[in-house]
Structure 1
């Protein structure tokens, strides 16, 4: 038999340049989304779409396997049918002696029929064998390759999408906490805010988590883009493998009847006409809005904003580097980054970098509960309790006198003034004015003057008006009944006393 060639038909490959307008629209919408801390897009959308496409290729390959396998079964069935045909002419002709036994006669005709019938039987058996040993293994290997591609996508991009969602949830949680505590700060500006709910800290924690989220998003985007770019080459390989398998199939079926040969030649010709990138370019055109645009820039942290980012509670009253004497006196002074927040906390950090590590304070003092000493050149003292260890840790933390040193006396004066102002308890003065505790305060001051005449009382540091606090009133009465003795630190020549109501008041010792 002569070899038959598959018909060739031209195929048109779609061009992506026709989607310029939609690409510009996507880029504009994505740039708007870059300004949001938590984008509304699904990080796994592109990955799920690519996984669905792999399943489509896998099922298509399965259809081809079924097609070839069923054709092999039909070939075996045809061989059995032709065995019946062979059996019909296997017996010698009756009254065969009436015919010549030489070649070219009636007997030779039937002998030729038997040989050709056996050849047709063998042909169908060979077709079944060749299809199962040649074409089917090629398609089965391709099927496994597509499955492995799906596993690779799941193990990489899908995990990356989960990491992005986890990072977004962490950022969203802290943004919500900042919103709640910022509202609480506005509603009760004089009230105490828990250290871990300080809006300043929450804002810095959001910076840390948002930076981590952006890194996860960009890393996941790059992974998906790499997989997306590799799909064109992979699909070309899939199509070329299918073309090779169908060519083997065509060669096996080409020895059968002319009609079968024409039908399978048309199948091969149709498969061979498909350009390697034909399906991929159609896929790009129809799913342009869902795939990652390689022309869009990565997200930038500087362009992102979030609610309450510039709230007044998140802005420091003063911040910068100070030196603090170590509790182990041998070590001397160590430098740290300190911040006084509107929530009346003095926080200590290793540095002002929000990105390298989570900005959790090394030390936190709630200033209304602290006592501030006088300035000695560039030094000043603050006595209070470190509340950075949480409720359980704070219960076992005692008051500590801390010595700070600024770079210049002017800097020390700025820090001392801001800290002193933050130690004022606005709730005490209103409490004293409304209940008549002012007389008890004067009595307590007179008693202290008797026990320590060299320390005149300063009325300029009296607490400002605020919300009535019955606890402070009780403390003031107790102070009036039992004056507290004064103490002076040897290192800074400063002394501390507690004003009525628990507010921290600094008194400067008089020079004789």
Structure 2
């Protein structure tokens, strides 16, 4: 309420200050433009990179390969589950759709940035330059004499106070309080007129500046909102066309699915066996004449055979079957299965053996002349005891006494209790 208490700055240059403010906004808009232009370049690069990636989807499912079961070539896809099984064969389609969608979205983003968002901000920046010039031209609205008028009002206040003091305390009055008051109020009115004119200028400048800044911020917000939506579309696209499809497909497929299809349903299914197929065991094997009496061992053991010329004995392992006498190096029938000598009983006879109590126990095996082996040779075989010798002699005597397979089979069945 004091006449000299002025509430409006009267010695500043608000147009310059406000021009600086909007120059800062101009620089900010330029920075946003540069960023969006670089974003546009990146989107163009994304298009190129996505095209490269789409060309890199070259799975060999359509490649022909030779199958091990035949010389014919088949498509590799025949070895895997069919497309649509949420397995590896779906991967080319999922990746292809993703990259094609990314190409389209990046192209759309580039067009929107180039044709709409960036030009609009560029227009805003140019318009702002015009507004800055207009603000500077308002400088004359703030040219005032308020400072001088304040000095006049101050002087009139002092004179009015002096006139009242003279009227109250002095008899020689040179100033009339009434006239001084009239002059003071006239000065205050002139001061207020200057002050209010300046006040209106400030209000107009600040109001228009505030509205201008609202427009600037709104345009930047609008541009960045469109930019965010474009980027959001790309991010959402990654989820919709890649992550969700992979997650609901191949990424959650049983790892055993492809192998199960390969061994059970593919073109190579005949190359494999069911995992639950039982192994075969020798005890379960059966074949024709498996238990024929003529295919049995009757007696075996170590005997000593006398040399034809040196009269010395050589120890060997002998095995007697219903039809042959075999000589082996050892008694191990798993490792040593090929005899070093075999005599057919059809070509042999036994005629004599040692008596009990003799110095050595031996029997003589005579090989008949057959034009093939050991023509007319006598084989002298020595045993460790009389009982062992007689056992060998007795069995061989009965087997060599006939060549009838039925008679031999009957003897084997009786001897082995078959």
- TM-score where L is the length of structure 2: 0.38
Q: TM-score, normalised by structure 1?
A: 0.32
